Structure 1
Amino acid sequence: MIIDVTYGEGWDAASRRVLGPLSRELAAERDAAGEQYAVVLRERGRPQPVAVLHIAWARDYLGVWAYDGRGRRHRELDLRRLEPGRLFLRHIARWSYDTEDMAEFADTAGRVLVDLFPDGKGRKVSQPKGTGGGSLHTLADVPAERRWAAVPAFGDWAWAVALATEGRGSDFSLVDAPEEGPAQDGTAGNRGRAGAAGNRGRAGAAALGWRPPSPLLPRYVEEMFTPGTRFSPPDDDATGPYVVERVIDAGILRLPTGRIVACDPGWMSPGEPFTVAVPPGGHRVQIATAAYRTEHWGKSLHMEDFTGARVLISERPTATWELAVRPGEDPRTLREGEFFGFGVDTGTGCFVDAAAAGRLTGGENTGARNADGIVVLDDARSGGNLIAYPSGMGDGSYPVWIGRDADGGITCLVADMLILRHQELLPA
């Protein structure tokens, strides 16, 4: 089996052409610089690829798409470079097509989805009859030696061919193919061939069909706490826009160690504090709400939702945001739209210092709620306290964003109830 190797910005499955073709030399430069590119592996004489690799070392990402003889994707692998020289197999997806004419990713196509985690855990979802049939959820039984692989050297793509063909045709040879012309859909075929680094940025690559998976990103964090800010209505029943209505003063959070825990205050085990600590002392907590009007049975109703809670650390403006994580949580393992958050089962979240968390959380420490549903509990032993608040729409998992000023100092921590992020900002 002779495999032709072509490099480019991406792969267009509809036209079966390489998008933004790159020379081998330019692709090698991108590989060394961590910039994203694609590798297309095709059996000579076959229009559809055996496999397409998407590589972006600056994001520690390598993705593999394997195709069958009809050009349908039948396997996907998501690998992450979590250690120098080593890739972790984060996700595996397989599709099975019962007939030759079944469409790619058809609802009736059988599928198996496996998610693996560096701590040795994993989960597997099997849907033998596709999304319309039943599913079986089990633990992923993948041994440790199969969860890790060496980072391939540039040009060493034989392993991808073997993976895509499931070991068949082990006598294949790789041959660099010439660069292709412009894609049939009219996309410029010479994108990225210029020597200037500015021509090889993410914006052009995104327009050419792919980008590395992106975890959940913060949205409207400042606007969430700006009274009067208007957003699109939450649903078709609303008679008006979402409007930031109140920023409630919930009191001073006393942090004797500065190691903050965010959790459900009803949980017996509050979990570990975030890896980033704040200056010990007292810091004000604010709760944001947004409201809209709706009608029900002919009556006009005023609806108010709790959209976020924040701990103010400094008065300097926030320049950047990052996801707060606990020990063992690696953002590089997050897939598209994923985040690490704190779980809620009682419709309530809280902030508390790690020194007081074990004594203030749990079913017996419910405390008295004020008119806004806020609870403050004191811990005489550590001098810290707990401030609890209603958690948006109720139970779920919520991220915490850390704000930093232009010099890297922490400005605030924000528990995002993920309500306004789905809306669109309206003119003032």
Structure 2
Amino acid sequence: MIFDSLDVSYGDMWGSHQGMTHPAPLSRAVAARRHAAGMEYAVLLSSRERPLALVESWPRGKWRVYLFDDRSWRMQMIDFKPHRTGMLLAHRNTRWQFSTERERSSFKWDVQETTTVLADGLVEMRTEFAGPRGASTQPLHARTSDRSSVGPEPVPVRLFPAPVEDFLCPAPEFGDWQVFAPFLAQQGHEPATTVVLNDVSVDEGSGPLRATEIEQLFSSGACDTPDGPAVVEPVDAGLLRITSGRLAVSDPGWIGEPRTVAVPPGEFLVTLSLLRTTYGVDVAAAKVTFSDIPPREWEMALRPDEDLGLLGEGEFYGVGVDTGTVAFMDATRAVIEDELDEDLFIPLDGRFTVELPGAESEPNLIAFRAGRGDGSYPVWIGRTDDGQVGCVVVDFQLHSSGAEE
């Protein structure tokens, strides 16, 4: 296939391996800001509505390029790293062979060939053969001619000298995707003398996720959800004691980098929003209230190094959950990990919330189930007319699909 133009679109890198389109598209402007900030994003290069390459930008100047063949199968992966100023080294090149579309979709390759540029001027080519999953990795002739040997055969490896210049390309500035065009020839796609880039990126739309109808999360009564009709039931989860003036929101099993909010010291009510559906009862949201005055505006709880301008449509920075649990606590509250199973996680199997008390006037911790499990969830700060923090809410997004309503 000879091409003289490439259609360019952008998306979130994480999840880009799942197919030939972007699961989470980004505008060109957001992708450019991520590039300038050294953040991850993905670029899809297509021609005549067929994917040719998926380019991923990694931190510290690293890049990864997936190449598609004329069947739109992803057959090759090239890893680049900075070599010297303004240049990239294609230090690892992996190719796959698949027998059928079904095996390709489940990534059950028959042959995997990996070429690695070594530091001593040599290039290593390693070829692996795979039968059914779990079978020995060995050359094809060994699998068919010698059935008496025990254990896997060594993986065939070939070493040969090659100048490093053969594996260099310019490090791209943002939008300079022609630098990867020569690599497309490795899958039979020949670039013309001049290749024109056509931007087909989405616009910025309404931007990052915004807080909508947060108050309704804690209003008793019937509501509609993606799972059908449901009933909201607010319940008290106890009083949270803050002594340092900093509220922390975190998975209690991973409190190294909590989301923190400056709040007044004192004791404040924690409220859970239970959502009853045909699937059962889940914690849809949790709130700690610092003022009786209703909030007039909402903002996302951000860390100092987070920039809303780097988020795409409907995206957010949130609290990460790996134990199915979130907690409100004072930022100085210590957690003894060895005691969490007995004191917190096991009791939460039969309850929605658990309190870990503090000694005397020391801060406590109130933990609760995180919606329907692990993931990342937005934390919203509700501010009153005078800018004070009225409440902090964790939304587990059971009332919506996670995008702005």
Same fold (TM over 0.5): yes
Q: Tell whether 2:197 aligns with 1:211.
A: no
- Percent of aligned pairs with the same residue? 32
| Counterpart pick for 1:133 among 34, 52, 74 | 74
Alignment of 1:236-385 (within 5 A): 240-244=228-232, 246-267=233-254, 269-274=255-260, 276-293=261-278, 303-356=280-333, 359-360=334-335, 362-366=337-341, 367=343, 369=347, 372-380=351-359, 383-385=362-364
- 2:390 corresponding residue in structure 1: 411
Structure 2 residue identity aligned to 1:241: P
Letter in 2 for 1:79: A
- Counterpart in 2 of 1:227? 220
The structure-2 alpha-carbon separation of the partners of 1:73 and 1:328, relative to structure 1 and needing over 3 Å to count, comes to closer
Specify the alignment match of 1:103 in structure 2. Answer: 48
8 Å CA contact 1:347, 1:390 repeated in 2: yes
Aligned mates of 1:143, 1:327 — CA distance in 2? 32
Report the CA distance shift for 1:317/1:125 in structure 2 as closer, same or farther (over 3 A): farther
Contact 2:259 2:301 in 1 (8 A): no
| Whole-angstrom CA distance in 1 between matches of 2:43 and 2:288 | 44
Residue deviations 1:60-119 (CA, integer Å, cap 9, x gap): xxxxxxxx844622786723399xxxx54545544445xxxx434x3x432112255xxx
Tell me how far apart the structure 2 counterparts of residues 142 and 382 of structure 1 sit (CA, whole Å): 57
In the alignment, the residues of structure 2 paired with residue 161 and residue 397 of structure 1 have an alpha-carbon distance, to the nearest angstrom, of 29
1:93/1:407 CA distance change after superposition, 3 Å: same
User: Structure 1 residues 161 and 343, CA, compared in 2 at 3 Å: closer, same or farther?
Assistant: closer
Instruction: For residue 346 of structure 1, report the CA deviation from its aligned partner.
Output: 1.5
TM-score under structure 2 length normalisation: 0.57
The alpha carbon displacement at 1:387 in A equals: 0.2
For residue 388 of structure 1, report the CA deviation from its aligned partner: 0.3
- Conserved 8 A contact 1:230-1:425: no
| Distance in 2 of aligned mates of 1:91 and 1:80 | 10
User: 1:306 is aligned with what amino acid?
Assistant: V
What is the alpha-carbon distance in structure 2 between the residues aligned to residue 135 and residue 399 of structure 1? 36
- In structure 1, what residue type is equivalent to 2:74? G
Displacement of 1:328 in angstroms is: 2.6
- SS of the equivalent of 2:214 reads coil
Gaps in structure 1 of 5+ consecutive residues: 1-67, 147-158, 169-208, 235-239, 294-301
Q: Deviations over 1:175-220 (max 9, x none)?
A: xxxxxxxxxxxxxxxxxxxxxxxxxxxxxxxxxx733672222233
Q: CA offsets per residue over residues 246-283 of structure 1, 9 Å max, x none? A: 1110000000012111111123x442452x30111111
Per-residue deviation, 1:405: 1.6
Alignment partners' CA distance in 1, 2:82 and 2:361: 44
Counterpart CA distance in 2 for 1:425 and 1:74 is: 23
Residue pairs, 1:145-156, within 5 angstroms: none
AA in 2 matched with 1:110: A
Note the C-alpha offset of 1:332.
Answer: 2.9
Distance 1:339 1:417 in 2: 13
Contact conserved, 1:233 with 1:242, CA < 8 A, in 2? no
Amino acid at match of 2:8: R
Query: Counterparts of 1:327 and 1:161 in 2: how far apart (Å)?
Result: 25
Residue in 2 aligned with 1:46? none
Does residue 421 of the first structure (1) align with residue 400 of the second (2)? yes
Contact 1:79 1:90 (C-alpha < 8 Å) held by counterparts: no
After TM superposition, give the deviation of residue 165 of structure 1 in Å.
6.0
Q: Distance in 2 between matches of 1:144 and 1:327?
A: 30
| 1:138–1:324 Cα change, 3 Å | farther
Q: Secondary structure at the match of 1:109?
A: strand
Change beyond 3 A, Cα 1:314–1:141: farther
* Letter paired with 1:128: L
- In 2, the alpha carbon distance for the partners of 1:283 and 1:144 equals 55
Gaps of 5+ in 2: 11-27, 88-171, 182-201
Give the Cα–Cα distance (whole angstroms) in 1 for the partners of residues 64 and 247 of structure 2. 35
Q: State the superposition RMSD in angstroms.
A: 4.0
Secondary structure in 1 aligned to 2:284? strand
Task: Give, in angstroms, the shift of residue 412 of structure 1.
Answer: 0.6
How many aligned positions are there? Answer: 275
User: Does the 8 Å CA contact 1:232/1:424 hold for their aligned counterparts?
Assistant: no
Question: Following the alignment from structure 1 to structure 2, what is the Cα–Cα distance between the partners of residues 255 and 81?
Answer: 36
